[in-house]
A and B are shown apart, each in its own frame.
Chain A
């Protein structure tokens, strides 16, 4: 982790407009260096004011610092930028509940549950509906969802991708999703379907490379009328699949794909923990 922080700091020093500030500030937040994390997140937002993940990160830092009002404002901004952002819905539900605003808390938690929130969200929602005064188990469940968000496998690539027109999945050799999320234009989680459909392409790529004596395949990029899809082998027959809008430059797709592969290898090497 210390090496990562040093590397990300160096990269940010070289290129102050880099999105690496997301990883750096998140790592510092996890280490409890909240003031430094805040400083880096705020500076990053000055350059990327429309980046929903950056506002989400700042909100989480603010919660950890006990600044609930600012966290509320940041998550509110996330939802304006990315209306289907489950993390922001959970965060807003958490703050509203902490402030005794049960109706608002229920509203946000219901939204999160409808957008595919984890079982903890549903449990917290049930508690909010049942409880009169603030209930300890509800606060606990909400805190759990808040703290769990950064360790959720579905968010493995979130800080790398930044903008909401890019998404990535880590698939196993059978095409099953290990991490990441793919949300369609109607905010439905279609990760399993997309992963299953596209995983066969890598088998075909491997076959072609082998029979044409081209060695191991390194990547396959498919451009469609709506998206650019890149697939790359990760460790042990797993595949990283990145999808980006057609507006994304191909060079950036390649760069993001490489970063996602690095992240996936680290995650797999750590036994599936971020």
Chain B
């Protein structure tokens, strides 16, 4: 399979401890552009829900007068979803609850710059 411009970035993110999946998706419709998933991860479902959540957070923050959203993190009982947007694309990471979210956030904010 031919590598996309995002393959190396996604591969590096998925190598971080506790990361189960990383994806680049279209924010508008949640379609996957590229992904790096561990076994058992459902890429399409993650993409659709994460993109929808990020879009909602971005639009709500803007409507509330809080400016442009740059990063979002959802913590749940059994996992975390992090998302960072750039243009019409969103970089999404799914991680275990025990993952180092500080490191994931830093790497995502660096990586999101390649989403052009």
CA distance A17 to B12 in the complex (A): 40
Of chain A, the residue at the smallest CB distance from B51 is: A208
What's the dominant secondary structure at chain B's contact region? mixed
Tell me the chain A residues, 187-228 only, with Cβ under 8 Å from chain B: 190, 193-194, 197-198, 200-201, 204-205, 207-209, 211-227
Asked if B74 is at the interface of the complex by the 8 Å CB criterion, the answer is: yes
Q: What are the residues of chain B within 8 A of A227 when measuring CB–CB?
A: 61, 66-67
Report yes or no: A213 in contact with B53, Cβ–Cβ below 8 A: no
Residues of chain A from 60 to 76 with CB closer than 8 A to chain B in the complex: none
B70 close to A (CB within 8 Å): yes
With contacts A197-B63, A205-B53 taken as known, whether A212 is within 8 angstroms of B68 at the C-beta atoms is no
Query: Number of contacting residues on B, CB 8 A?
Result: 33
Q: Complex Cα distance A112/B61, Å?
A: 29
CB within 8 Å for A209 and B76 given contacts A200-B60, A226-B66, A229-B61: yes
The answer, yes or no, to whether A184 is at the interface (CB within 8 Å) is: yes
Assuming the contacts A214-B78, A215-B77, asked whether A193 and B71 have C-beta atoms less than 8 A apart, the reply is no
A194-B53 in contact (CB<8A): no
Is the CB–CB distance between B60 and A201 below 8 Å? Answer: yes
Please pick, from B42, B53, B72, the residue contacting A223 in the complex, using a CB distance under 8 A. Answer: B72
Query: Can you list 23 A-B contacts with CB-CB less than 8 angstroms, sorted by A residue number?
Result: A193-B64, A198-B60, A205-B74, A208-B74, A209-B74, A209-B76, A212-B45, A212-B76, A213-B78, A214-B77, A215-B78, A219-B75, A220-B72, A221-B73, A221-B75, A223-B69, A224-B68, A224-B69, A225-B67, A225-B70, A227-B66, A229-B66, A243-B66
